[in-house]
């Protein structure tokens, strides 16, 4: 909204999703809610993000070029991406980081757990994604479906490219 909810002298509280010089707050919230859904594994955040996109569906249909931020973030709702890198040392994870950062994945949630020998942080997205003994592992997820552990950085790059083709 363009005004606070407790403002007394406003007849109508305007709410827009058009882009200006700064990203639109509604588009940013869609991205944040999609990321929270990926991190927590909870569907509530993704449902709320979808609700925002649906609320502006008419505006999107009338003027897609004026709502590019919201359109881009809608992909996070349709096909949320998550990439998890895990290893028992920073050295073992470095090749995976290099492969990951060579590929542009806008909107993807990226998690790195480089000390997986200790108790994993209490993050739902890390559950069931252990490090492989003595080496790093990567997991590429689209929605709630994740790949088997990928133990080679070159294969990670290929998996990211394949996932990108599925979305676009």
Q: What per-residue confidence (pLDDT) applies to 49?
A: 93
> What pLDDT digit, counting tens, does each position of 91-117 carry?
888 888 888 888 888 778 888 887 655
- What mean pLDDT do residues 130-143 have? 83
Which residues 6+ apart lie within 8 Å of 23 measured at CB? 69
Which residues 6+ apart lie within 8 Å of 27 measured at CB? 17, 19, 67, 69, 70, 72, 73
CA-wise closest residue to 126 among 105, 112, 142:
112
Asked whether the whole model's pTM tops 0.85, one would answer no
Secondary structure class of 16 (helix, strand, coil) = coil
Secondary structure class of 78 (helix, strand, coil) = helix
Element spanning 137, H or E: strand 137-142
> What pLDDT digit, counting tens, does each position of 15-42 carry?
667 777 777 888 999 999 988 888 887 7
Higher pLDDT, 127 or 166: 127
β partners of residue 109: 82
């Amino acid at each position: 909204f363009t005004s606070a909810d407790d403002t007394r002298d406003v007849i109508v509280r305007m709410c827009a999703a058009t882009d200006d010089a700064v990203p639109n707050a509604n588009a940013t919230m869609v991205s944040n809610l999609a990321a929270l859904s990926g991190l927590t594994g909870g569907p509530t955040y993704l449902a709320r993000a979808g609700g925002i996109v649906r609320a502006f569906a008419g505006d999107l249909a009338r003027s897609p070029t004026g709502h590019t931020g919201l359109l881009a973030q809608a992909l996070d709702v349709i096909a949320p991406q998550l990439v998890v890198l895990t290893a028992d040392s920073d050295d073992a994870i470095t090749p995976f980081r290099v492969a990951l950062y060579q590929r542009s994945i806008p909107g993807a949630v990226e998690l790195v757990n480089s000390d997986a020998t200790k108790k994993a942080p209490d993050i739902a997205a890390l559950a069931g994604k252990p490090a492989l003994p003595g080496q790093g592992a990567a997991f590429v997820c689209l929605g709630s479906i994740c790949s088997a552990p990928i133990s080679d950085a070159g294969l990670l790059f290929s998996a990211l490219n394949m996932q990108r083709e599925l979305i676009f």
